[in-house]
Chain A
Amino acid sequence: MQKPDVIVIGAGGGGAVIAKELGELGLCVLVLEAGPWYGNKQWPHPNIEKGGFCSRSVADLDVSLFKESYNKLENNMNDQIAGKLRWGPANRENPPWNRNFQQRGFAWQNSGVGGSTQHYLANSPRAIPSAIERQWPLSYRELIPYYEKVEAELPVEFAPTTSKEELFYYGAKKAGWNLLSTLDVGSPGFRPQPNAILPPNENLLHPAYTEEQLSWMEGCTLAGHCINGCPHGPSVAKIAKRSTNVSYVPLALNTGKVEIRPNTFSYQVITENHPKEGIRATGVKVRNTWTGEKEELFADCIIIAAGAIETPRLWLNSSLPFNPWAGRGLVNHNMDMVTGVFNEIELLPILGTPAVNPFVGHTSGARLDYPGLGSIQIIGTSPGLMASFSYALGHSETKTFHQNSNENAFKTGRVIGKELIELMADYQTSLSILIVTDDEVDQKNNVSIVPATLDEHGAIPSIRYDPTRNTRRKKGKLVKIAADILFQAGARKVIHSHWPDGLMIHIMSTMRMGYVVDENCEALQVSRLFIADNSVLTNGLGGANPTLTTQALATRTAEKIYNKYF
């Protein structure tokens, strides 16, 4: 490739989108991705051997290879230390990349083309409008055309109802909540998740097709593996769950203007002091994760889309100008989990079947939004993930089940031994709800670097998150709402996991728009340096899952870059 017009660092939720948009505008784009590329002929054994160097053709995409890699086994896929979808190099014999934590918890991210959207649940709600108005440098109205564009491109459709959604709707209605028939949420209520998942296969109920045949056709088969990585579809570009490796990446390659290099870690942004533009970005230093070879690459604009931990790390490790908000203001939706266990006999009249079967359907197909508090979202995963996230991840508490004020059996904290075995024996009749708090931005919560602890790419990031008192209050209210819905639906027991505050799943707001970048996502202090990932979000969007908004902004930023510099 000749000198690219633009370099994009990271091919995840935001990076793949901006690469495709700039490619369509006719710019030459080089995408540098730290992790592997699954489903590409250039890397037939992506975890075992170095493979090719780069790919720029959609003809390289191979759905059989893709399905071979994404084999739906949760330990193989989701293990955070050695799984395929982890934060680490392609070679699984090497350890994951290191992070430092200043409180209990961990950061759950993926490296690789597609980034963390490989395991995301594809929940794609718009931000809560009241969280944007007067808090962001942009208005909600300005975002709407970009939301519409991304919703059409992915595409986004409301989740179909399976047993677990049906049970949630039943409980929510009984608890007095209304259905929200909107994408722009202004009042509390429940609704199906707007998901970046293709609608169910039209022949799903047609007995002439086997499930295996259906899994090679277009459309979701309700197989429930979204979190494990969805492999279902006739081609890479038509995989049902629209992670960016199957949505925006094929579209980017289709432009003929985009080249993607996996296994390439960017460890420093190169700048110069320009007489007219001041400090400006000119290039990137990179290291190949298989060979250790280093290289310097140059372009007219540099876009960082490395995610809300690595983007500030890269800024800090590049000795860019001091900014009191660089890395600061981290929010993570201060999450938690609440799980209800049901009796078969009570499920039967509601569902017509005696089971919830959490492994069926979209991993998360329904939600309740409550502007000012956040949201709650049902989750049904494979059993290892369920056991660890519902029952292992809390604090150990001595109390066992007790009757709450309404005489219902309620427990907070970890479950072990006989109690765990019994609860997991009820896996098929359990329903979990994720708590997603509209947490407050606090400058003390941040990603910094630990100069004394280096890995092969420089000082490692250190993560600090301590929720404000108001955030804790909101979370408590959401836990109550979720437990109430489960009890109303007939749960015989409810377990509140009590997750540690430092659990990072929605990682946002570490390079905030209006503080570190301007409303066009260009760094305030470094020209030609843009950011296109979750870190630019000015806040936690009122408790909406972040990716769609990041993608809408990346689409907008592409236009701004093109207009300003090309």
Chain B
Amino acid sequence: MVISSMSCQWSYTTQLNFMAVVDALIPSSVVTSNCGCTVQYGGVPLSIWEYLLMSIDSLPVPLTEETSQLLDLSAFHIYKKRYPLSFLIYHPHTSQALFSTLSRKDRLRAINLLEKLMVPSDSFPVPYKNNPIIVQIMIDSLYQLTFFGYYSEWFGYGETRIHSPAFSSLRTYPVSWAYTGYPGPSFGYRDFRGFLLKMKDLKQE
């Protein structure tokens, strides 16, 4: 698996956490079909974590570092529950990318705990601190952006992905189109099956 790392603008630990999110939501998997077994690449090889990073840093208030920390705090909460007697201490620097150390199942749990507001929020970074709605909206966005990025043409922008969207253009086939059978943009289809009603028929009534 080649991880394209065109983006040096985010700390490595933040990148790891976003890869870990995307990998939990859309992992690479083996798909069986009439033609046998094939690999369906997940969100990490399709660089969807970069789409997440770029999107979240393009918000009116950029939030990638804070969101990464949020994920670490939820991971810390899970570790703490699991090893209640240990001397685990959360530190924003030394605990960076803690979330990415969790198993897939636990990462989903960590995301879910945040959504369900089951992680104490007084230690969250601003603006998440004691602001449950913003936490939930960000968790919703992680799902939404991952799914939208993955199943849209985003991967196809190739090396132009990192540009401002006004300067990117399709460079390669967006492989996720093959996963859904979407033929891509179209000029038209000839699946015209007539009309059930016409306005002129109503007007005559």
Chain A residues packing against B (C-beta within 8 Å): 47-48, 71-76, 79, 81-83, 92-93, 95-98, 101-106, 151, 156-158, 160-163, 165-166, 169, 179, 181-183, 191-192, 194, 200-201, 204-205, 210-212, 214-215, 221-225, 232, 357, 359-361, 382-388, 391-393, 395-396, 414, 416-418, 420-421, 424-425, 427-428, 455, 500
Q: Which of A79, A97, A200 contacts B192 (CB 8 A)?
A: A200
Q: Chain A: which residue is nearest B197 at the CB level?
A: A158
Contact B188 A222 (CB under 8 A): yes
Is B29 in contact with A418, judged by CB distance below 8 angstroms? yes
Assess whether B137 is in contact with A106, with CB atoms less than 8 Å apart: yes
12 A-B residue pairs with Cβ-Cβ distance under 8 Å, sorted by A, are A72-B186, A79-B165, A92-B165, A181-B201, A182-B202, A204-B192, A211-B188, A214-B188, A215-B187, A222-B191, A384-B147, A424-B151
If the complex has contacts A157-B199, A192-B197, are A224 and B192 also in contact, measured as CB distance less than 8 A? no
The proximity string for B residues 167-205 relative to A, scoring 1 for CB distances below 8 Å and 0 otherwise, is 100100000110111110111111111111111011000
Query: CB distance B180 to A425 under 8 Å?
Result: yes
Task: Report the bound CA distance from A407 to B35 in whole Å.
Answer: 32
Interface majority SS on A: helix, strand, loop or mixed? Answer: loop
Write out the residue numbers on chain B whose beta carbons fall within 8 Å of the beta carbon of A48: 166-167
Chain B interface size band reads 35 or more
Determine if B191 and A424 form an interchain contact, defined as CB atoms under 8 angstroms apart.
Answer: no
Determine if B84 is an interface residue (Cβ-Cβ < 8 Å).
no
In this assembly, does B12 line the interface, its C-beta being within 8 Å of a C-beta of chain A?
no
In the assembly, what is the distance between CA of A105 and CA of B138, in Å? 10
- Measured CB to CB, the residues of B under 8 A from A are 24-27, 29, 31, 40, 54-55, 58-61, 108, 112, 115-116, 133, 136-137, 140, 143-154, 164-167, 170, 176-177, 179-183, 185-199, 201-202
Contacts of B143 in A (CB 8 A): 388, 392-393, 414, 416
Nearest-CB distance from B121 to chain A (Å)?
A: 16
CB-nearest residue of chain B to A423:
B180
Q: When chains A and B are docked, how far (Å) is the Cα of A387 from the Cα of B31?
A: 18
A75 touches B152 (CB 8 A): yes
- In the complex, what residues of B have CB within 8 A of residue A357's CB? 189, 191
Q: Are B179 and A158 in contact (CB under 8 A)?
A: no
**A169→B133 contact, CB < 8 A:** no
Q: Is B147 a contact of A388 with CB atoms below 8 Å?
A: yes
Q: A72 to B185, alpha carbons, bound, how many Å?
A: 6
A103 contacts which chain B residues (CB < 8 A)? Answer: 133
A387 to B166, Cβ gap below 8 A?
A: no
Contact assessment for A92 and B166 in the assembled complex, using a CB-CB cutoff below 8 Å: yes
Sample of 17 more A-B contacts, CB < 8 Å, known A48-B166, A160-B193, A357-B191: A48-B167, A75-B152, A101-B133, A157-B199, A161-B196, A191-B196, A192-B197, A212-B187, A221-B189, A223-B186, A223-B187, A357-B189, A385-B152, A387-B151, A421-B40, A424-B151, A500-B140
A520 shortest CB reach to chain B, Å = 29
